[in-house]
Each structure stands twice: as C-alpha cells, then as structure tokens.
Structure 1
Amino acid sequence: MKWSGRRQSDNVEDRRGMSSGGKTIVGGGIIGIIILLLNTFGGENVQMLTPILEQMGQGQSAPTEQRALTSEEIEEGKFIKTIVADNEDVWSKIFQENNMDYTNPKLVLFSEAVETKCGNATSASGPFYCPADQKVYMDLTFFEELKTKFGAEGGDFATAYVIAHEIGHHVQTLLGTSAKMRQMQEGKSQAEANKLSVALELQADFYAGVWTHYNQKMNNFLEEGDIDEALSAAHAVGDDAIQAKIQGHIVPESFTHGTSAQRKAWFMKGYKSGDINQGDTFAEIR
C-alpha cells in the first residue's frame, strides 16, 4: 500500500523499548491462548479479564527502562502514525456528513506488557481497544504470529486493517453501540451473549471496510494484493479458524468474533458500499 508522504497523527504513544513499570503480567502458556481466543482484534472482552489479569500481576514489580528504537521500529512507527491519521480524516468526514462530532482515539504501541484503564495486558492478548480510556493497544509482534501461527499472508495492509478494526470499536463507543450491546447481554445465556459479541466484532470489520472505501477515494492508497492481505488476516482470526488450529474442533456457541467467512464478508460489504448505514450486524439476532 502507498503511505509515505502523508500526514502522521499526533495521537500515537510509542512505548516500545520501555519496560513496564509497576505491576507486570505473567502471560504465555494457556493464559495467553485464552486471552487470544477471547480478544483477538477484540476490545470489549478485555474488560471481563481485568480481575484475572490484575490478580496474576499482583505484587510483581519491574523498573522502568528505556532503550533506543531501531531504524526499522522508527519506520514502523511512521507507518502506524500515517494509518491512524488516515482513520482520523476518514471518520471525521463520515461523522461530519452525518451531523455528528468525532473525537479521535489514541493508539499505544507497546512491547510485552501494558497497563490500561481496562486492566493490564500482555502481547498475548493481541491488539485491543479499551473503551474506558478510548485507546487502541498494539504490540506489533502480533503480526508475525498472525503469519507464523495462523497462516495469514501478512503485509502492511493487514496491519492497516487491524488498526481500522480497532478504531471501529472506538466508533461504536462514540455511537453508543458498545454500551447498548452490554445492556442487551444482561440476563442472557452465555451463548446468547456471545452472539451479541459476534455482531459487535463483525460491525467493527464492516467499519474497517468503510474506512478502506473512503481512504481509497481520498488517498488512492491501495495497491495490488492489499485487499487480499486484509481478507487473509480476517480469515486467520475467524473463531472457527482459531478453534480448529488451537483445539482441533469447533464450538459455534462459544464464538465471540465470528467465523472467517463472516469476517471477510462484512469487511467486503463495508469496502464495496462505503455506507455506514449498511452495517447493522445485529439485525439477525433482534
């Protein structure tokens, strides 16, 4: 994808190379897998894990240390800042067209572990959005795991798709969709609550597609193979693909993010239509 030379956002906090001070989380192993299954490209489910994560980190401290970023990391940072700026421009335009005000989120790049208002997390959680502080959190090592462990093609647009998905959760927070979803989950069975979670995640995929549609019109940034990269990433993180890879069988009632086919379909619907009003992923479960 073409990204050099465009505006870079000031709303990116680069904490890479900085060890986490205060409480740290013992990640990895089965806990890391559980978090990944619950929260890959998530945003909402991380709040459910806060008490567990804080208990795991209780009493463990680490001094804060800083190392210089490599030239490759600096270039990655410029890319991330450009994609965040693109999202700011697109969503500001969409909200303005619908007579609404858009507030920019922040994106935090971190290494290994991070503290958030939704609780502490490690890189094993994958990228996530915290509605409590309206920030997206990402450890970029996730994208290497996406390729090596889950078979995604990788590429810069796969990263852009993930960022757009997480900012889609921010859009849902601003529109009140996330809060309504949590209210709808109250008193529901786990299977019914999971269906609502799937609808929220698929809508974030749809919004990532809408962003791609608008950004292509505004910046003509797509190159051959970019959409395939996004679809490959969406396929790799479908609940069915992850469960088949991790546990060897699929349990549909436990899905929280949607199948590979659903995630790809909703992204493409957003990309082709560019119409925010066509993203009612909750229609089938009302």
Structure 2
Amino acid sequence: MEFRDNARIDNANIRYGGGGGGRRGGRGLAVGGGLGGLIITLLLLVFGGGNLGINPDDILGGGQAQPQSVEQNPECRTGADVDANPDCRWAAYVSAIEGYWSQTVEGYQSGTTQLFSGQVSTACGTGSSEMGPFYCPGDYTVYIDTEFMGVLLDQLGAAGGYAAEAYIVAHEYGHHISNLTGTMQQARSMGNDTGPTSGQVRLELQADCYAGVWFANTIKDPESPIESVTQDDLNRIVDAARAVGDDHIQQQQGGRVVPESWTHGSSEMRQLWVAKGFNSGDPRVCDTFSTDDLGQ
C-alpha cells in the first residue's frame, strides 16, 4: 500500500497513550471488530454466549485502569512522514477514513482513535490488549493496542502488513458509521442471539462492507494519504477477513465449527462483504439487515 507524499495527515482524531473514554458520556457496549473482542468471542464460544446471559460489557469491567505509555504524538504532517516514521501510518489511516466518511454521511460526527498498550479506560469499561481492537459507542472511539494487534494477526495466520491494519481500522470505523446511522441500535434490538443471521453477525458484516467501500473510494481521492492499493494489498485484506472468521477461530482453537455460536460471521461471509463493499464503492450495498442472503 502506497502513501501519497504530499497528502496532509491530520492528528486531530488520534490520541497516543493517555486515558480514553468519557468524552460523550454513557457507558455503551464495546463492539468487537475485525479482531476486536477476539478473546471475548472465544469466551462466549466456550461458555455458551447469549444462552448463559454473558454480557461482553461485564467482561470488560468498569474499572479505571490507566494505559501504559506508547510513543507520544509523533510528528506526522504528510504521507511522506510515514517513510521516516512508520508510527505515522496510524494517523494516515485515520485521516483517510475520516476524510471519506465526513463527506459521505450526512451530519457526520468524527470518531477518535486511541492507541494504547496494556489497559485503557473507556466509556464502555476497561479495555485490555488481549481484546484486540474494538469500538466503544459510548465515546465514539476506536481502541487499538498497535503491538498486540500484530501478534493477533500472526496467531490467526494472517499475512498482515499495512493493508491488513488499515482494513481493521476501517472495520472499527464501520461500527462508528453503524452507530451514527442507528443500525447498531437496530442490531441490539434483535437481542443477544448468536448464529449466521443474528444481529451481531449482521453488524460485523456491515462493518466489513463499509471497510471495503472506504478502500474503493479513498484511492480515488487525490487528497487521501492512501495513494494506491495493489493486488497484494487486496490479497492481504481478504486474508485478514478470512483469519477473523468465526469458523477459522473455532478451528484454530482445536474445536468443531458451531455456526449457532457465531457472533462475527464465517471467513467466507466476511470476505464476501468486504468484496461487496470494495467492488461497488457504494455504502448502500452494506444493508446487511434487509437480507438473509449473507453468504453463509
């Protein structure tokens, strides 16, 4: 994935270290994403999930643990800075994502990305590295432990790389879009059921689709920090989507595939909806709540 040297990178919507949460009030419920909520997902698979009434928010906890420090505010002004300091890639991803959705969603409200290490306080409770990236609707924030995300990708057998990282960040911002448009509330109104056509799975597939839509459009934007996406990048995006499928995760854990317990969708479903978004470039195709043809 190539970055556009002269494109402006905006650090306004990204925080390096420091406390998170509480910006908009209310706890909300943390939403797992591309890798977000992986450990929670495994716990729900092992202990029966919704059938036992386990609430991911309870697993998150409500403590006020302080995050460990990560590099503070690197000097990131243009896409060229990514070559000099790879940490600037996170600001480049966020700038490109915010740039697209702010022009696409009427009444768009910016999200925030919090980079942390260890633990972090959020409006949804205390988050930890082991959860992987996640989105908290209570404070409109995507939380990412940058080092641990790479570890998780490796453990799940994904190729990784900048394109895979960008897909995961874009997926979490997809949850932000679902939150702003009200479809996240629609998913919750369907209850805490699991399975290939559950509200939880539909929400995750919608975020995958939105990530694909963003990729398709950002490379057409002359002001985007993301200049181009190669075939290898596309392969890595699809591979990351495969790696975070519920069936793949269940197989990785040495267990049998149990579709009734799915909360994120199978590898095939996730790859399908990323492709739908990318091939169309139209967020209107991401209405996963009006169809039962989800690709399972």
Q: Is the CA contact 2:40–2:131 (under 8 Å) kept in the aligned structure 1? A: yes
Match in the other structure for 2:31: none
State the Cα distance separating 1:153 from its structure 2 match: 0.4
Q: Is the CA contact 2:174–2:211 (under 8 Å) kept in the aligned structure 1? A: yes
Match in the other structure for 2:99: 89
Match of 2:168 among 141, 155, 162: 162
Match in the other structure for 2:273: 266
Is 1:238–2:245 an aligned residue pair?
Answer: yes
Structure 1: runs of 5+ lacking an equivalent? 21-31, 40-44
Match in the other structure for 2:126: 120
Is 1:3–2:3 an aligned residue pair?
Answer: yes
Match in the other structure for 1:77: 87
- Code of the residue aligned with 2:200 in structure 1: it is S
> In structure 2, the residue corresponding to 1:218 is in which secondary structure?
coil
* CA distances 1:211-257 after superposition (whole Å, capped 9, x unpaired): 01111111442134111111110000000000110142111011000
State the Cα distance separating 1:195 from its structure 2 match: 1.2
Match in the other structure for 1:182: 188
Q: TM-score, normalised by structure 1?
A: 0.79
CA distance in 2, matches of 1:133, 1:70: 21
Structure 2: runs of 5+ lacking an equivalent? 21-36, 45-49, 75-81
CA distance in 2, matches of 1:67, 1:140: 9
* CA distances 1:172-226 after superposition (whole Å, capped 9, x unpaired): 01101101211122xx7x3469711001100000000000111111144213411
Say which structure, 1 or 2, has more relative contact order (CA 8 Å, 6+ apart).
2
Match of 1:214 among 214, 217, 232: 217
Match of 2:257 among 250, 256, 265: 250
Match of 1:227 among 226, 234, 254: 234
Match in the other structure for 2:198: 195
CA distance in 1, matches of 2:262, 2:68: 39
CA distance in 1, matches of 2:99, 2:283: 15
> In structure 1, the residue corresponding to 2:104 is in which secondary structure?
helix
State the Cα distance separating 1:65 from its structure 2 match: 6.8
> In structure 1, the residue corresponding to 2:142 is in which secondary structure?
strand
Percent of aligned pairs with the same amino acid: 38
> In structure 1, the residue corresponding to 2:190 is in which secondary structure?
helix
Q: Is the CA contact 1:191–1:253 (under 8 Å) kept in the aligned structure 2? A: yes
Q: Is the CA contact 1:166–1:204 (under 8 Å) kept in the aligned structure 2? A: yes
CA distance in 2, matches of 1:80, 1:138: 10
- Code of the residue aligned with 1:242 in structure 2: it is I
Match in the other structure for 1:37: 42
State the Cα distance separating 1:69 from its structure 2 match: 6.1
- Code of the residue aligned with 2:202 in structure 1: it is A
Q: TM-score, normalised by structure 2?
A: 0.77
162-171 vs 86-95, greater mean Cα deviation: 86-95
State the Cα distance separating 1:142 from its structure 2 match: 3.1
Sort the Cα spacing of 1:33 and 1:155 in 2 relative to 1 into closer, same or farther, 3 A. Answer: closer
Q: Is the CA contact 1:243–1:250 (under 8 Å) kept in the aligned structure 2? A: yes
Q: Is the CA contact 1:113–1:120 (under 8 Å) kept in the aligned structure 2? A: yes
> In structure 2, the residue corresponding to 1:145 is in which secondary structure?
helix
Q: Is the CA contact 1:194–1:256 (under 8 Å) kept in the aligned structure 2? A: no
Sort the Cα spacing of 1:38 and 1:230 in 2 relative to 1 into closer, same or farther, 3 A. Answer: farther
CA distance in 1, matches of 2:184, 2:107: 17
Greater per-residue helix proportion: 1
* CA distances 1:48-77 after superposition (whole Å, capped 9, x unpaired): 33333327x59xx77x875766999x9343
Match in the other structure for 2:114: 108
Q: Is the CA contact 1:235–1:241 (under 8 Å) kept in the aligned structure 2? A: yes
Is 1:135–2:141 an aligned residue pair?
Answer: yes
Q: Please provide the CA RMSD for this pair.
A: 3.0
Sort the Cα spacing of 1:157 and 1:120 in 2 relative to 1 into closer, same or farther, 3 A. Answer: same
State the Cα distance separating 1:89 from its structure 2 match: 1.2
